[in-house]
Structure 1
Amino acid sequence: MRRAVENAEDDREQGWRDLLQWNITDKDVVVGIAASGTTPYVIGALKACRENGIVTGSISCNPGSPVSEHADFPVEVVVGPEFVTGSTRMKSGTAQKLVLNMISTTVMIQLGRVEDNKMVNMQLSNEKLVDRGVKMVMEQLQLGDYETAKSLLLEYGSVKRAVESRK
């Protein structure tokens, strides 16, 4: 995932093998991403997913692309030609990232991790997020004391559970 493997995108079987390493099941959803919509690695993975009853989506930047044919939920974001030919990280990559952000935000909402336009079940993985969570706890519980709110947040591990502990 972190290092380029030359010619890997041409292997129709490797995408499925890579997914199997993550113990993929029919409870998962796989979204294939291919700017051109023609990448064999992505198409092969999506095809194998469908053969195994796994819900699929795709994000490409060409209408009617082959990757869309192999996805249950294709998204085609037509951005037009790149400013620098062959550099799909520019318009295509940016557009695909925006779609992924929309999908992940929608998933968080559907899972109940967002309430009143606030992420109440975020990972408290750094000081900025802890501070943000403390302020949410203070607001929702109408607490004037930062340290009390912080103690609650850290004890319960999420804004949602901290607030529920006091209601």
Structure 2
Amino acid sequence: MSSQVIPTTESSSLYTNLEEMSTVDLLKNINQEDQKVAKAVQKIIPHIKKLVDASSKKMQSGGRLFYIGAGTSGRLGILDASEIPPTYGASPNLVVGLIAGGDSAIRTAVEGAEDDPNQAWKDLKQFGINEKDTLIGIAASGKTPYVFGGLQVAQENGVLTGSISCNKDALISSVADFPIEVEVGPEFVTGSTRMKAGTAQKLVLNMISTSLMIKLGKVKGNKMVNMQLSNNKLVDRGVRMVMEEIPELDYQAALKLLTLYGSVKKAVEAYQSK
């Protein structure tokens, strides 16, 4: 019998006979477990800070941010990266998310894709990753070969590396300059890391990318002044932001100015420079 220690993400749920629970008990117990996630993230804020500060220096010097992951972890990286252009008006090349198995794996699992330790670096090389950039590997288990291999070769090539996992002493931490380990405990459904582990990863990614965009000057006060005006809701929000910055303008005048310059920041700067 193996004496190998079972990772926390794979350890047995604190609950049993789930199929016999009432709907309200299922929901209450899932929620009770979810409440542990934010507290676990809070404990490792100092580690997140180190990664954000190091990444910020790279990005302020023209570097990019890359995420790599498989399955849920890969999808979360892609989700975070895809929100940056519309939210902050940044180039889609500034933050890039890659998933084992390619884009088709976003919707459908690709068998064995995560088991190739050489594929991530091949994927990253297509984007010309270099020592100016930052690579963050995401893996709930902390041992996904696709992620480990990518981080290992990136580190060997002078790329700043970070990792996000949900197990203590995770394997990928050994190839990350700035490892982040969020220990959220066993999942409600044993091994279903799309739940607490996925939530933890999403929270950390939110913290990292939001902090970086603020440091890159994409936010003024508390407003997304560079957001893309891609629908009526966002145009209306933009108009009201312009009116807050330039109180003498009415709605129509602010809309005309915003339409002319394409972003809140440019509209306000243009008006105030007159």
Is 1:166 matched with 2:258? no
Whole-Å separation in 2 of the counterparts to 1:86 and 1:143: 57
1:88 aligns to 2:193 (yes or no): yes
Deviation (angstroms), 1:27? 2.0
* CA shift digits 1:46-88 (9 cap, x unpaired): 0111111111111000111011111111111110011111211
Q: Which amino acid aligns with 2:181?
A: E
Q: Give distance in 2, aligned partners of 1:102 and 1:2.
A: 27
Aligned residues: 167
**1:144 Cα deviation (Å)?**
4.3
Matched, 1:117 2:218: no
The aligned counterpart of 1:37 is: 142
Q: Which has the higher helix share?
A: 2
* Equivalent-residue separation in structure 2 for 1:135 and 1:146 (angstroms): 7
- The reply to whether residue 16 of structure 1 matches residue 126 of structure 2 is no
In the alignment, the residues of structure 1 paired with residue 257 and residue 129 of structure 2 have an alpha-carbon distance, to the nearest angstrom, of 36
TM-score scaled by length of structure 1: 0.95
Distance 1:25 1:128 in 2: 38
Q: TM-score, normalised by structure 2?
A: 0.59
Of 140, 144, 155, the residue aligned with 1:50 is 155
Counterpart check, 1:108 vs 2:213 = yes
Q: 2:184 aligns with which of 68, 76, 79?
A: 79
Unaligned runs of 5+ in 1: none
The answer to whether the aligner puts 1:26 opposite 2:138 as a matched pair is no
Q: Aligned partner of 1:49: which letter?
A: A
CA–CA distance in 2 between the matches of 1:102 and 1:6?
Answer: 31
One-letter code aligned to 1:7: G
**Is the contact between residue 35 and residue 59 of structure 1 (CA under 8 Å) also seen in structure 2?**
yes
Give the whole-Å Cα distance in 1 for the aligned partners of 2:174 and 2:264. 42
Shift in Å, 1:23: 2.3
The one of 160, 174, 180 aligned to 1:69? 174
Q: Distance in 2 between matches of 1:128 and 1:9?
A: 39
The runs of 5 or more residues in structure 2 that have no matched partner are 1-102
TM-superposed CA distance for 1:148, in Å, is: 1.4
CA distance in 1, matches of 2:238, 2:104: 31
Higher relative contact order (CA 8 A, sep 6+): 2
Over aligned residues, Cα RMSD in angstroms? 1.2
Query: Does structure 2 conserve the Cα–Cα contact (< 8 Å) formed by 1:143 and 1:149?
Result: no
Residue in structure 2 matched with residue 152 of structure 1 by the alignment: 257
Distance (whole Å) between structure 2 residues aligned to residue 92 and residue 110 of structure 1: 27
